[in-house]
Amino acid sequence: MTQASDVPVGPDAPARPAGPLLVLAAMPEEAAAITALMADAEPLAVPLAGVAAVRGSLGGQDTAVVTTGIGVAASTAAATWAILSLRPRAAVAAGSCGGLAADVEVGTLVVGDAFTWSIADATAFGYAPGQVPGGPERHVADAAIADLAEASARAVDEGAGVRRGLMLAGDAFVTAPLAAPMRERFPDALSADMETTASARTAEALGVPFAALRAVSDLCGPAAGQQFHLELDEVAQTSALAVQELAARLARG
């Protein structure tokens, strides 16, 4: 019998039957907001310490939610296992993020369609800010999934707004002192977190369509008068509702 791990993967792999929607969330609170909306959710055995997964129906779509843990390495390991094991039809990063663009507000849903590394710097060798030598200047979302994600976000938006564009990720929490120089390096960046680019890079390498739907919980460098923080459970719910809408749209074909 052929095992899932024996099937070729990557951009040139042969077409495969549609698998589940894979949802990647860093923290248990972020994953819990999504699994609370699922029907018939059952835990999956995961051979990775610190990683949890459940599979069930979300919006009528077969869906697996994986809690990856925080950071680039954790996200890469969990996403690699999930893609190789579950053969998903698409993957989406969900949960919270920090708002980096000066005009982003807490609660805003950020739809990621391009991704790079917030602290990678090989500019001395002619690379773009955030570009890892040998890698692309930007990792790019699947356009069809990103379009569905944006439509889903707009369908559930309760007034905080929806933005689509570049998301940064790296193993550094972007605090206010780091925000201004990071905006100078990445003037079009909307948000920063510690996992999304790693998930995007993994999905790209393994040939799985990818986008991101994360809600802003904190502003990296708030301006005077701006609300700068929302509780994680509130932001996780905002992201979860958008992901549920995305799953429903995928289920409808």
Give the rounded percent of residues in the chain with a pLDDT score beyond 70: 90
pLDDT tens digits along 51-107: 999 999 999 999 999 999 999 999 999 999 999 999 999 999 999 999 989 888 889
pTM: 0.90
**Does the annotation count 218 as an active-site position?**
yes
The pLDDT value given to residue 178: 78
Which one is catalytic: 12, 218, 233, 245?
218
Beta bridge partners of 167: 115, 191
Which residue has tokens 């899932």? 4
Task: Show the CA angle centred on residue 99, arms to residues 197 and 164, nearest 5°.
Answer: 65
Residue 82 backbone dihedrals phi, psi, to 5 degrees: -65, -40
- % the chain with pLDDT above 90: 75
The rounded mean pLDDT for the chain is: 90
Confidence of residue 177 (pLDDT cuts 50, 70, 90): confident
CB 25 within 8 A of CB 34: yes
SS3 call for 100:
coil
Place of tokens 């051979």: 47
User: Is 1 a residue whose pLDDT tops 90?
Assistant: no
DSSP state letter for 111: E
What's the average model confidence in pLDDT over 197-208? Answer: 98
Residue 119 Cα to chain centre, angstroms: 18
pLDDT tens, 17-44? 479 999 999 999 999 999 999 999 999 9
The answer to whether residue 30 is catalytic is yes
Catalytic residue among 30, 105, 193, 195: 30
Determine the Cα–Cα distance for residues 30 and 79; give it in Å rounded to an integer: 16
